[in-house]
Each structure stands twice: as structure tokens, then as C-alpha cells.
Amino acid sequence: MKKQPEITDKTRQTFINVFCDLYSQKPIEKITIQEIAKRSGYNRSTFYQYFTDIYELLDYVEERVFTSIKEEMATREFSTHSFQDALQCLENAEEISVLKALLGDYGSVHFIERLKREIPLEKLIVDLPANEALAPYIIEFYISTLMSMFRLWIRNDKDLSSEELVKLVDTLFTNGIGTTVIP
């Protein structure tokens, strides 16, 4: 007897939701399959019908985010406000709870590094120095700062509008910290 696809999708999504909730609260090493299954209302054997272990579940969640981001990026033409475009891609990519887990305190550094590679944030830097040795450091500074601000924004439940966040980032990079006024 075959399961109905909508039931299968619902079960998988339940495991994902519970995992993301737990992953936003504690490191992956402290999350058990038993805990995910129990909170999902299923038994462990049902979990194993979808995923071989917690790390495969994490990979599945990360791949869905990247697929969604790539699809979103493919449908838009990037403007001169690439950070705002990238921010909208991230906002639209997945449920915020998933991003909150992946980018949270217990999230994977691997995911953040991959996110920096997948989103062309380096295109935001117009005036790179003539010294080519400095360029990678400036790009890393810029991208890391953007990612940290995005992570904080997600953790703070998007307490600023995306426009306010973009304006704040632009102001910080243009004028520095000393003259920054909250948007």
C-alpha cells in the first residue's frame, strides 16, 4: 500500500519543523532522533523512513534553502541594491524558523560559509582597492558583516523592516559607526 504524497510531505515537514525548533535551541549533537520523533508524534521507525540520521535531515534542510534561494535569484534581475536583492532572496527562500535555526547560535559554520559563496554579495563592493592582496580581506569583511547583521535581524524576529536594515547597512558602510543614526 502506497502512502499518499500529501501525507508523506506533511510527515517530512513535521520532522523538519521539530528539528529546526530543536536546532535553534541546542547543538545538533544534543538532538536525538527519539526526541524528534516523540515531539513530531511519530515513532523512530517513521523517522528512518525519511532520513537515515539527523545529519541527513540537516543536509536536506540546507539543500532546500539553497535550492529555494537559487530559484528566487534566477527569477529576478539584480539592481544596484544587490544587498537588498539578496536579503529579499533570503527572506523569501524558506520559512524564517528554518533560517533562524540554520543561522542561529547552534547553526553550522559550514552553512554560513556556503551561503556566503552562493549569494554574490561581493558584487556589492564597487571600489575595491588597487592592491589585489587586500581585495579578499575587504570582500570577507563586507560579506561577514552583512551575514552577521542578517543573522541578528533574524534572531530579533525582523524587528526592523528590510528597508530599514538595508538603509542601516548602507549608512554604516558609507559613514561608519560614529555618525550612524538609526533609520
The Cα 55–Cα 150 span in angstroms is 25
pLDDT of residue 82: 58
pLDDT of residue 146: 81
Max CA distance (Å), the chain:
66
pLDDT of residue 121: 57
CA angle, 103 then 108 then 110, to 5° = 115
pLDDT of residue 60: 95
Written as tens digits, the pLDDT of the chain (183 aa) is 455 666 788 999 999 999 999 998 999 999 999 999 999 999 999 999 999 999 999 999 999 888 877 777 677 665 544 566 666 666 655 567 788 888 888 887 888 888 777 766 555 555 666 677 887 787 788 878 888 888 888 888 888 888 888 888 878 877 777 765 555
pLDDT of residue 113: 82
Task: Dump pLDDT digits (tens) for 106-143.
Answer: 887 888 888 777 766 555 555 666 677 887 787 788 87
pLDDT of residue 123: 57
The Cα 112–Cα 102 span in angstroms is 8
Helices (H), 75-158: 82-93, 96-102, 109-118, 135-155
Secondary structure class of 11 (helix, strand, coil): helix
Q: Residue 144 is placed in which grid cell? A: 561577514
Is 39 within 8 Å of 1 (Cβ atoms)?
A: no
Is 156 within 8 Å of 94 (Cβ atoms)?
A: no
